[in-house]
Structure 1
Amino acid sequence: MLHDTPRKADYGSPAQSPTFGFQLATRGARVAQQNSFGSEELAGAWHDNGGVEFSVQPERVAVGAGSDDVHNEYPEGHSGHWGAVFNFVNTIVGAGIIGLPFAILQCGFWTGLGLMTLAAVLIDKSSVMLVQAGEKTGRLNYEELMGAMFGAAGYHTFCFFAFVMAFGAMAAYLIIIGDTVPQVLRACGVASGALTDRRVVIALLSLLVVLPVSSFRDLHKLSFASFISVLSTLLLVLIVVFAAPAEGRTYDTIDRTDIFTFARGTLFAGLGAISFAFVCQSSTFIVYRSLGEGARSVASWTSITHMSLSIAWAMTMAMATLGYLSFGDQTRGDILNNFSARGAAAAAARAFLAVAMLLTYPMEMVVARHVLDASVCRALLRWEEARLGRHMVITILIWAATTVTALATDDLGAVLEIFGAFAASVIGYVLPSLLYLKSHEGELRAAALVWKGAGGAYAPSWRERAAAFRPFYWAFFMAAFGAVACVAGTVTTILDNH
């Protein structure tokens, strides 16, 4: 059985991960790259023709000592390929999807669509980078991988940002439940009473539905809930896509003169909401470890990631584009708040959204509970064994804190933007790229040696130098992009909401 708090392990014989070799020659100079799995030692052999040949020899990255089989330390779970896809899509397409039309408004139409596509590509690549680094070093926990690469500071840095991200997501889900369920009940004829009060609805559903489902320890048990959640979100998207244009025509105050504006000054705040919608790296290893016998490999995970991000991208693009074009400058932080309270389509969309949020919350609880237990209980307090009592105490504390937060605010747009800009940018872009670069230090040294031409004895062409660093282009870009998105997005959001 896979728990979200796996056993602590020593890691001495990690699996292998991509390396490459370089060969330079004065005639027909070229860089040959061979993709295999393993780190390397560099050796240089001088030749009479003035060239130098660099060979890359396999070498394991030693980050610890212990078992010869990392999979013995992280037992395989019970999820199949499609179960993992639904779980992963469920972590991606959560509360953020209904804030994406507003994110397009913040960014500008064309810039917003471009940033959504870029975010999907970067998240896809960074998720695979994480698993590659994890398999290489034998660390199949995000926080343990950070600890192996960057020490205690790295370990707790991840735990902090992952908890903030998950906490913001869970609070957003409960805010949405409070916004949607009372309106669904009004559309069904419940015009007054306690059930039309958002605070009462949040408290009741949080206690009666969210808390029990969030208490599961085995991620496999959430696969069916994830399937229902993804199906509900898909139906929500279809309703918005087909109903939003007609609803938008009922507005008399929409200014459509600049609806196709390329970019706006608040684009970094919009990028925060986009990042919030796509970032799922906190769940990467949790879902990866849940894969069943024979299904856990970099190749399998790459397929799962591509499929999950493709589904999520298609759903979010449809929602964002049609939602924004229908309501223009009147687009709200929660797109469903643009719909009439009593329309049948709007009521159905809100009902599907409420179901999706109720069933997505537990996936974020898995992340929040895991990192809080890892950082505080295991790392600081040295409590090794994961007992059921501790599991329930942490669950109840997180559940209570997110419920109180949702009761205290109803500004969904601000929650999505601030948590997305601050935490999602770091979790989704910065840390995965740094981990990939750190776990491939040997390959970077090889590339640097190619760049320098072995101390000046040989001058490689710019094409050869560029080819040497080609495996790291995305990682360098992702780190810079994430840093800018985090700082600029957080500052912009704070200033806009001050």
Structure 2
Amino acid sequence: PKSENAWIFAKSNAVQAIGVMSFAFICHHNSFLIYGSLEEPTLKNWSQVTHMSVSFALVISVVFAACGYMTFTGYTEGDIFENYCRDDNLATFGRFCYGVTVILTFPLECFVTREVIANVFFHGNLSTVFHVVVTVVIIAVATGVSLMYDCLGIVLELNGVLSATPLVFIIPSACYLRLSKERWNHSDNVISCLILVLGVLVMAVGFVMTVLHPQECSHGKEMFYCSPSNVSLHNSTLPP
């Protein structure tokens, strides 16, 4: 379906999109664990792994985003599966594959969260009992939050501006400036300063925009073009 001004992207909510895109590439919290899991943890191997994986993720993200938006234009939902009708078997299979991906990814995120909790509150040592308790609490909290809200778009936006933006832009730049022996206005630190300022602006403006103008959500309802009358009308307008 076509929508008005679908290809005009210079809008006020573009800042929220930066947060979502940042969230798609966030992997900093897994970096140390992945580096330690390499058979030969050298800088060369680490560089190859990171560049190949991020490039592969970039290609997949661009292809899916472009195809999804070109199909539904201005009606594109935060969760692209919300745009497909319930009787679309291929979309149902896609939902199944996405669910499997989440199931396989969640343990890795749970492991990182548990590791942080263990290091901060238990000095890095968890007994068997606390290991089980912390794991159950993490899973219960994550599951409870996911069941309370059914709109993926605003969740990605908030995660992007509050979590991804600091991890991608703010914290690395601040650490680099803190460890640098030169002054902040030195030529070697200019890029880091710009990235730091950009990250702060994206986080602040993105959060305000997300709260004031949250992304629309269908709340599980089928889109208007999925009704039999609209499908019949659409098919009748197609050339023979």
Match of 1:372 in 2: 117
- Code of the aligned partner of 2:77: R
Percent identity between the two aligned chains: 29
2:30 counterpart of 1:283: yes
Higher relative CO (CA 8 A, sep ≥ 6), structure 1 or 2? 2
Unmatched segments (≥5 aa) in structure 2: 216-240
Aligned AA (1:280): C
**C-alpha distance in 1 between matches for 2:198 and 2:110:** 28
Cα displacement (A) at 1:297: 2.3
| Residues in 1 aligned to 2:88 and 2:190: alpha-carbon distance in whole angstroms | 49
Distance 2:134 2:195 in 1: 33
**d(CA) in 1 for partners of 2:82 and 2:198?**
32
Match of 1:335 in 2: 80
Do the aligned partners of 1:425 and 1:482 also contact (CA within 8 Å) in 2?
yes
Cα drift, residue 298 of structure 1: 2.3
Q: Which runs of 5+ in 1 are unaligned?
A: 1-250, 379-383, 452-465
Q: Quick check: 1:259–1:325 contact (8 Å CA) kept in 2?
A: no
Contact conserved, 2:79 with 2:151, CA < 8 A, in 1?
A: no
SS state of the match for residue 322, structure 1?
helix
Residue in 2 aligned with 1:477? Answer: 194
Q: Match for residue 126 of structure 2?
A: 386
CA distance, structure 2, for counterparts of residue 435 and residue 475 of structure 1: 10
Calculate the TM-score normalised by the size of structure 1: 0.41
For residues 54-113 of structure 1, give each alpha carbon's deviation from its aligned partner in whole angstroms, at most 9, with x where no partner exists: xxxxxxxxxxxxxxxxxxxxxxxxxxxxxxxxxxxxxxxxxxxxxxxxxxxxxxxxxxxx
Give, in angstroms, the shift of residue 483 of structure 1: 1.0
Shift of 1:377: 2.2
Is contact 1:276-1:416 (8 Å) kept?
yes
What amino acid does structure 2 have at the position aligned with 1:482?
Answer: G
Amino acid paired to 1:309: V
- Answer yes or no: is 1:274 the counterpart of 2:59: no
Greater share of residues in strand: 1
Q: Using the TM superposition, give the Cα deviation of residue 474 of structure 1 relative to its aligned residue in structure 2, in angstroms.
A: 3.7
In the alignment, structure 1 residue 351 sits paired with structure 2 residue 122? no
**Alignment partners' CA distance in 2, 1:481 and 1:285:** 26
In structure 1, what is the Cα distance between the partners aligned to 2:149 and 2:130? 29
Alignment partners' CA distance in 2, 1:296 and 1:287: 9
Give the corresponding residue for 2:150: 410
1:429 alignment partner in structure 2:
169
From 117, 141, 144, the counterpart of 1:401: 141
Per-residue Cα deviation, 1:278-317 (whole angstroms, up to 9, x for no partner):
111111112112222xx21222212111111100000000
Q: Does the CA contact (< 8 Å) of 1:336 and 1:350 recur in 2?
A: yes
Amino acid at match of 1:495: L
Deviation at 1:437, TM superposition (A): 2.5
**1:473 deviation in Å?**
4.3
Aligned residues between the structures: 215
Shift of residue 399 of structure 1? 0.5
The answer on 1:258 being equivalent to 2:5 is yes
Is 1:487 the equivalent of 2:204?
yes
| CA distance, structure 1, for counterparts of residue 190 and residue 138 of structure 2 | 38
1:258 Cα shift? 1.8
- Distance in 2 separating the partners of 1:414 and 1:375: 29
Written as runs of structure 1 = structure 2, the 5 A alignment for 1:36-435 is 251=1, 254-255=2-3, 257-292=4-39, 295-378=40-123, 384-435=124-175
